């Protein structure tokens, strides 16, 4: 296969004309599923297997490996020779890799699916049916669970506001996690067991019409990690979209990290949030928003330090170390991604 995008990124490309989706239907796929992987060898294999086992609507599947060093690309090629694979030599990050992959597919819908997910009970079929029933939403998401099948509430988010950042800086969003008032960004108290309009659909299980994706220009590649789906959803809302989620489409989404990794992720998250404030807050709120955002890691560093000394707990020592590392890197994340 040879495309402009492939030549630009110089990936190693594997594809076969008789993929599972093409065997199921000679027509163009209804949904093009994009999985961007990076050093998630076993999880990516399990994710692909679940897609193939649980999806019956006409689809094509493109796995874009972001220069993994754990043998992921070779393992995928060996285990699933009929699945289209692009093994790039450069790690482009989540946003740009999805943008490249989206140029190479033809489905009516695009489904972005994390490699650390497992599709349950025909979830992709259910999500496409939901999109058909709720076309005005223009972006759709489902329900996510942890590996033990308990609720993973990170499938969707409310947009940031001065109030939400105030509750976060004061620790109220942590103390009252189940409160919709004090934890508004996480829709506190809502078990994701009902259909509703939301602000932001997580990029781990994100359905959008391909033509609308193209109208929006895809993800902004300025967002190296985190925030890209929030930026896209907020731009989409400005164009009249009203994203929705359904509990009828469920997947497993695994998460977990060490304290050092946690600090690095928090720095990237703060960079993303800073950029979102600058782009999507009213001009008169931006200064207050950045001050409140900076108050969050500062307050966490101080609070975990006190708890670590009082309780002499390794858990709180690790948390304090992570937040201290984040605060020491404030000159980096205060600049945002731009």
pLDDT at 16 (0 to 100): 34
pLDDT at 9 (0 to 100): 39
Domain boundary residue, one of 253, 269, 293: 253
**Predicted model pTM:** 0.89
> Is 96 in the same domain as 125?
yes
Is residue 186 assigned to a domain? no
Read off the DSSP letter of residue 255: -
Q: What pLDDT band is residue 179 in, cutting at 50, 70 and 90?
A: very high
> Is 209 in the same domain as 292?
no
Is residue 80 assigned to a domain? yes
**pLDDT greater than 90 at residue 7:** no
pLDDT at 256 (0 to 100): 53
Q: What pLDDT band is residue 8 in, cutting at 50, 70 and 90?
A: very low
Q: What does the pLDDT average to over 136-152?
A: 97
pLDDT over 90 for what percent of the chain? 84
Is residue 310 assigned to a domain? yes
List the domain range (segments joined by +) for residue 54.
4-158+198-253
pLDDT digits 0-9 by tens, 95-127: 999 999 999 999 999 999 999 999 999 999 999
Q: What does the pLDDT average to over 30-50?
A: 96
> What does each C-alpha distance from 106 to 27, 59, 278, 337 come to in angstroms?
11, 10, 34, 31
Residues in the chain: 338
Per the CB < 8 A criterion, the answer to whether 173 and 183 are in contact is yes
Which helix (DSSP H) or strand (DSSP E) does residue 37 occupy?
strand 31-37
Number of domains in the chain: 2
CA angle (152 as vertex; 161, 51 as ends), nearest 5: 120
Q: Residue 292 contacts by C-beta under 8 Å, 6 or more apart in sequence?
A: 162, 165, 166, 168, 169
> Is 301 in the same domain as 236?
no
């Amino acid at each position: 296969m040879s495309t402009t995008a492939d030549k630009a990124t110089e990936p190693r490309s594997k594809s076969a004309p008789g993929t599972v989706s093409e065997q199921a239907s000679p027509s163009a796929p209804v949904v093009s599923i994009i999985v961007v992987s990076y050093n998630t060898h076993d999880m990516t294999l399990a994710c692909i297997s679940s897609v193939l086992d649980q999806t019956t609507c006409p689809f094509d599947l493109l796995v874009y490996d972001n220069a993994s060093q754990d043998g992921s690309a070779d393992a995928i090629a060996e285990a699933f020779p009929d699945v289209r694979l692009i093994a790039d030599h450069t790690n482009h990050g989540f946003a740009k890799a999805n943008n490249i992959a989206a140029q190479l597919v033809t489905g009516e819908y695009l489904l972005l699916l994390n490699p650390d997910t497992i599709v349950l009970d025909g979830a992709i079929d259910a999500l496409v049916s939901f999109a058909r029933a709720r076309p005005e939403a223009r972006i759709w998401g489902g329900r996510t669970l942890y590996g033990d099948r308990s609720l993973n509430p990170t499938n969707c988010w409310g947009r940031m506001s001065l109030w939400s950042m105030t509750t976060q800086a004061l620790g109220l969003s942590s103390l009252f996690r189940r409160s919709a008032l004090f934890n508004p960004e996480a829709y506190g108290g809502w078990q994701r067991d009902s259909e509703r309009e939301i602000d932001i659909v997580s990029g781990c299980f994100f359905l959008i019409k391909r033509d609308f994706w193209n109208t929006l220009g895809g993800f902004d590649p300025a967002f190296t990690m985190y925030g890209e789906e929030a930026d896209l959803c907020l731009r989409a809302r400005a164009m009249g979209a009203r994203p929705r989620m359904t509990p009828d489409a469920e997947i497993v989404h695994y998460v977990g990290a060490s304290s050092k990794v946690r600090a690095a992720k928090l720095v990237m998250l703060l960079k993303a949030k800073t950029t979102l404030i600058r782009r999507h807050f009213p001009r008169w709120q931006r200064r207050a928003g950045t001050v409140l955002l900076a108050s969050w890691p500062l307050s966490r560093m101080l609070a975990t330090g006190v708890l670590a000394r009082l309780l002499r707990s390794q858990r709180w020592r690790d948390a304090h170390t992570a937040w201290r590392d984040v605060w020491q890197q404030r000159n980096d994340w205060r600049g945002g991604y731009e």
